[in-house]
Amino acid sequence: MALGATIFKAALSVADMDRGHYAEHALVIARHPSETDERMMVRLAAFALDANDALEFGKGLSSEDEPALWRKDLTGAIELWIETGLPDEKAVRKACGRAAAVKVYAYGRGAAVWWQHNADALARPDNLSVYELPAAATQALAKLAQRTMQLQCTVQDGTAWFTDGSSTVEITPALLSAARRG
C-alpha cells in the first residue's frame, strides 16, 4: 500500500517591502512521502518570495506536469511557474513554453554542479529566472518545519528573514540568470 502525503499547515505572514506585498496566508502543504523537510520548506520559502493571493502549490513530486508552485490568471493561463530543487533542463524549457514567467530556486549540495551542466541550455528561454539558495540557509529553514507552523517572513533588498518567534533564518537568493522578459 502506498503511503499518503503528510499534511502541514502554515500561517504565513509576509511583509515584502521589495514588492509592496503585505498579507497573511493560510497554507496547507502536502508533503510527499519521499520529500524532505528541507524541500518542503524551500517550497514554502518560494511561496513567500513570490507571495500572491493567486499563487498555489502544485502537486509537485506526484505530478510531472505541475510545478512546485504556480499562479494562473482568471482564464487559466499560467502566469508564473516555480520549480524548486535541481529540475531536469528539458522540463524547465517545457515550462518556459507553457508559462509567461518561470523561476527556478535551486538548492542543495549539487546546485552549483547542476547550474554548470545546465547554464547554456537554460540561457535560451527569455522568460526564465534562476536563483540559488544557500545550502546552510535551506538546512536551517528545514529545522523550522512543524506540522502546524506560525511563520513570519520579511523581505527587503532581496533578502528574506523567516522566523517562528524563537528562531530566525536569513536567506539571500543568488541570481544566476535573470529573465529578459516576463
Rounded Cα distance between 61 and 8, Å, is 16
Cell (9 digits) for 131: 536563483
Tell me the pLDDT tens digit for each residue of 16-69.
Answer: 999 999 999 999 999 988 899 999 999 999 999 999 999 999 876 556 778 999
Cell (9 digits) for 64: 510531472
β-bridge mates for residue 153, sequence order: 14, 162
Correct CATH for 6-177 of 3.40.50.1370, 3.60.21.10, 3.30.70.580, 3.10.640.10: 3.10.640.10
Residues with Cβ within 8 Å of residue 96, at least 6 apart in sequence:
102, 125, 127, 128
Q: Residues 20, 158: contact at Cβ < 8 Å?
A: no
Q: Let me know the angle formed at the C-alpha of 87 by 83 and 91, rounded to the nearest 5 degrees.
A: 90
Tell me the pLDDT tens digit for each residue of 88-118.
Answer: 999 999 999 999 999 999 999 999 999 999 9
pTM above 0.85, yes or no: yes
